[in-house]
Chains A and B, each alone.
Chain A
């Protein structure tokens, strides 16, 4: 039998009020072991209070080759930003 442990991505919430953030990856046989290993590998110094693990193959990622069509259209939509609008100086707190 020559089967290798799959790759998992680890997300850690460092404290309540903050989102889970990608911390790195690791190898584990199943989800439970991935959680235990994530605890040992990524939270040895109180770096977290909650962990998510997701098998890497289950993540769909955008391809940098498509970055043009995906992200460039936002560049010419300046009217989505507050500074686009010209307002008189005497207007305060807006």
Chain B
């Protein structure tokens, strides 16, 4: 194809998205669109998969059967989210093995929040409330994104997320109504998860590089700072219901703006964790790789069994 022809196709393509048409796997698309989507969707899938690890840590130690069933169901959902997203990403021409390879070698990123440790049971509540809460705000606009398979996966994901946040909040609320020790545990969890949750929306708008392109392709509808503000505004009253304090002395209602003002985020910490120096980066990848490697014999055995079965079926067909 000549450069002029490509330019022409690109214009038609951008116009389709502007008209709110969806792009489907076999449609022509610019290489940059394909690459950007592979990167974003696979990172999103990795986040769901790695996100199971900090919570998996507490399944066997849940304080009651009710909490255990809820946590187990939530973690299973996250596995499902990972699978929806991996298959959406595969439609763009990258194989699942390649994506795993990128995750396992550290080439691919995933949400930095999962590189923090889960020290107490209250962390399960705080993660559901804050981390899934922030994820919902990030994900809801994606139900309308331009790439069909991604949008469809996100619709399913968003339907399931609401329970994640609610079970977390309920669990924290129970602690907050409990003994002083239990309430302290909830406060400690909020202290540790608050700032990393704010970082989940990514760098500030003036630092964020691909916002404009992402807006055009509907990978984004609002900027990082707008989404972060939305999260703060909706979370402050929820903390009041719990009766615990958000660890930010600068947090206060701004009548003029109609929003809460909040303190400065420690971006050095953010970049440290992104670059692999968070408290658990190494542990997470090690656990993930070990799970993958230990499962290899199962995958091989299943293939061998399927092949044997297929051969037997063929022979039977021949004989009859």
Minimum CB–CB distance for A60 against chain B, Å: 12
Q: Are B305 and A41 in contact (CB under 8 A)?
A: no
Q: Are B97 and A24 in contact (CB under 8 A)?
A: no
Minimum CB–CB distance for B25 against chain A, Å: 9
Interface residues on B, range: 20 to 34
Q: Are B26 and A61 in contact (CB under 8 A)?
A: yes
Q: Are A24 and B28 in contact (CB under 8 A)?
A: no
Interface residues on A, range: 20 to 34
Q: Are B303 and A5 in contact (CB under 8 A)?
A: yes
A24-40 near B? 1/0 per residue, CB < 8 Å: 11110110010000001
- Expressed in whole angstroms, the Cα–Cα distance for A29 and B299 within the complex equals 8
Known: A1-B300, A24-B153, A27-B96. A64 touches B28 (CB 8 A): yes
Minimum CB–CB distance for B314 against chain A, Å: 14
| Overall SS of chain B's interface | helix
Q: Assess whether A16 is interfacial by the CB under 8 Å rule.
A: no
Task: Tell me which residues across on chain A come within 8 A of B226, comparing CB atoms.
Answer: none
Which chain B residues (109-168) contact chain A, with CB distance < 8 Å?
A: 152-153, 156, 160
- Expressed in whole angstroms, the Cα–Cα distance for A41 and B310 within the complex equals 25
Q: Assess whether A57 is interfacial by the CB under 8 Å rule.
A: no
Stretch at the interface among B59-67, B79-87, B184-192: B79-87
Which chain A residues (1-53) contact chain B, with CB distance < 8 Å?
A: 1, 3-5, 7, 24-27, 29-30, 33, 40-41, 44-45
Chain B residue nearest to A33 in the complex (CB): B302
Task: Tell me which residues across on chain B come within 8 A of A63, comparing CB atoms.
Answer: 26
Minimum CB–CB distance for B282 against chain A, Å: 27
6 contacts between A and B (CB under 8 A): A7-B87, A29-B302, A29-B303, A40-B80, A64-B24, A65-B28
The chain A residues found within 8 Å of chain B, CB to CB, are 1, 3-5, 7, 24-27, 29-30, 33, 40-41, 44-45, 61, 63-65
Closest 9 CB pairs of A and B: A29-B302, A30-B306, A29-B306, A25-B87, A3-B303, A64-B27, A64-B26, A29-B303, A41-B80
